[in-house]
Amino acid sequence: MTASTRQTRFKIGGMDCASCAAKIDTAVRRLDGVADVAVSVTGASMTVSHDGPLADDKVLRQVARLGYGIVKDSAAASRTHGQHGDHEHDHGHDHDHDHHDHAGHDHAGHNHGKTTASRSASAPASEALHVHGGAEPGQPWWRSSRALLTLACALALAVAYVAGHAFPAAERWLFLAALLVGLVPIARRALMAALAGTPFSIETLMTIAAVGAVLIGATEEAAAVVVLFLIGELLEGVAAGRARASIQGLADLVPKMALVERNGGTAEVPAEELAVGDVIVVRPGDRIPADGEITDGSSDIDEAPVTGESTPKRKSVGEAVFAGTISADGVLKVRVTAAAADNTIARVVRLVEEAQEAKAPTERFIDRFSRYYTPAVLLVGALVAVLPPLLAGADWSGWIYKGLAILLIGCPCALVISTPAAIAAGLATGARRGLLLKGGAVLEGFAGINAVAFDKTGTLTEGKPVVTDVVAYGRDESGVLSLAAALEQGSSHPLALAILGRASAAGVAVPQASGSKAISGKGVEGDVGGVAVFLGSAKAAAERAPLTEAQRAAVEGLNGQGKTVSVLVADGAVAGLIAMRDEPRADAAAGIAALKGDGIRTVMLTGDNRRTAEAIAASLGMEARAELLPQDKQRIVGELKREGLKVAKVGDGINDAPALAAADIGIAMGGGTDVALETADAAILHGRVGDVWRMIRLSRSVMANIRQNITVALGLKAVFLVTTIAGITGLWPAILADTGATVLVTANAMRLLRWRG
């Protein structure tokens, strides 16, 4: 994409499947000046990349002709990539746009394009929005124009049945009228799609089959087939709406209003108007309206809506909070750190929508297959209709009927939707549990992972040392902690913070120290209540007070466990030992065990010293490679791949960038505000090691679902193909083979929304 390429985003109504997206993609791509098109079914959006200005009315008119509601997204202004690096889509590697000619169905009921098409590009967005095919925002599906068309066609068919019995002479014309109620919009879709570059659509097959049925006298069956088709499409739209709502519902977690401190008081303002630096007040039970940092107060924060973490976390001054989470029991003051468009939930929604624009390899294969499949169905239907009468003198009417039934059996809707429906549901359910996978290719790739390389600090461990052992000599542990904490007051060194944290947790009184000073490379010393105190390394402590053999053995034993040991000297004698270590995350051992239980190899790659790395790795039951530079980690990932393993690398997304890039899949571990969220292939929002295993399990569940869907789609077609040629089934069972399969496939994919991992 060149520096001058711009992007314009549109919202689209009535688009419920991958075929709809493909049809829109093909039509818009034909416009002059369009460089690339990315359509998201779940996001109900389209991003058009173009060189220089693009008249919006051209896009509006082109899409509206297909029967979809469309409006320029005023919330996403055009971006020039040379100036804005954010959200740049590399659509080239995943979209395979050359193969978007597969059968697209834009669903009867979309026949309202001219209102939107006639609007000028300069018209306000609020005036241009007309969602004709599906329910408008906030409107139930049963009030949509598609539902009304389906109801009208069904009622017309019912009236034709009743009136036909009363007036047998008019029966054929009554069924023809009922047929036209549904077929005219479908035929218009077929024509518009053909003119826009998609001649082989499901509407084309439906139109040919219905018209052919009328010509051979099967008008009643043709009308029933159209009603069944419309019902199937309506059910598909409802299911697609559920998938869309699953991820878009995240945006509703952020409250619309916020209490902000201004002019010595508080004022209620729209959350979208909050600016970075504003201080907001969050009351007990309130949802937090913005990403921020606590400046006053403490509270248990329920992060389940954002991260899926079931246990509330106690947070206080200096800690980060996410928009959409809930302050359970305390009043907080929070300094806003991200505007509404950039808060955690907004970024998650945006990343998932972008991910759904990127096709998985299986999805791209189905697209390419569909490009040839639909014309092949037309050819097979024609051959079945004409060859037996020509070659064997069979009955023309009977075999034409069978050929038309084959057109309906061959409708590719169920096959085309089998993969994207499962991918969309998988991406959405992962996002709701804090598992971000950037695209179908990544989601599919996780299924094959059989080796995971972890960074240590901040990935397998918490990223900060804690006091693990306090050994006292001549006094109790509280006395040792009290003296050590007195020396460390005011220090921001990680080891000092660990000691102060342990003293605070233990409720130890911390006296004031006088004359405290740091001694470079050795430790810190001062006077505490008239007692000369030193805290530092064992070597530096031995210069002030000799260590006994037992004390030296204790220090060695703690060092052997990968712990850093500080020796406390008071009044010229060793008073105690304080051991600290960056401990594994609470779920690290269980997460590693889950991966190993699935036959996945785990290895730790760290720049830390070998003894510490091996101690942590041994406690987790995994192998360790220590004292590594970034290029060493990259080399080891390459070695694992050369062994035939498919490798995922888990790290912070920044320091481990070379290894993340070398791996088959790079996973960022950390909070939603981490820049790693933007750089890796996948991200784990709440830092649980077990979520790596859950990502792999989710991927395998999705791939199993896709295999089930394809089996159902092709299996039903094969069964009805045989029964149709054998003369057992006719037109309406044929459409059930496709419509029924579409509903089954979509419903099966929606089961993934209930996945719990």
What are the pLDDT digits (tens) for 280-325?
999 998 999 999 999 999 998 887 666 555 567 788 899 889 888 8
pLDDT at 87: 37
Active site residue 455: yes
Q: What was the pLDDT predicted at 243?
A: 58
Q: Which residues pair with 603 in a beta bridge?
A: 453, 623
Report phi then psi at 569, rounded to 5: -115, 125
Question: What is the C-alpha separation between 316 and 328, in angstroms, rounded?
Answer: 13
The CA distances from residue 639 to 366, 636, 642, 659, in Å, are 33, 5, 5, 11
Residues of the chain with pLDDT under 50: 1, 77-138, 672-676
The residue whose two tokens read 């504003």 is 278
Polymer length in residues for the chain: 757
pLDDT of residue 311: 63
Instruction: Kindly give the pairing relationship between strand 69-72 and strand 5-13.
Output: antiparallel
* Residue-level pLDDT at 308: 54
What local confidence, expressed as pLDDT, does residue 482 receive? 94
Expressed in percent and rounded to 5, the helix, strand and coil fractions of the chain are 50, 20, 30
Nearest in space to 101 (alpha carbons), one of 23, 47, 206: 23
Would you give the DSSP letter of residue 439?
Answer: S
In this structure, which amino acid lies at residue 707? R
Task: Look up residue 531 and give its two tokens.
Answer: 């007692």
- The pLDDT of residue 123: 36
- CA gap 423, 53 in Å, rounded: 34
Exactly one of 36, 286, 302, 455 is catalytic; name it: 455
- Distance between CA atoms of residues 280 and 547, nearest Å: 54
Which DSSP category does 719 fall into?
H
Largest CA distance in the chain: 117
Residue type, 382: A
Q: What is the pLDDT of residue 708?
A: 95
Residue 730 neighbours by CB under 8 Å, 6+ apart:
218, 221, 401, 405, 724
Check if the beta carbon of residue 647 is closer than 8 Å to that of residue 453: yes
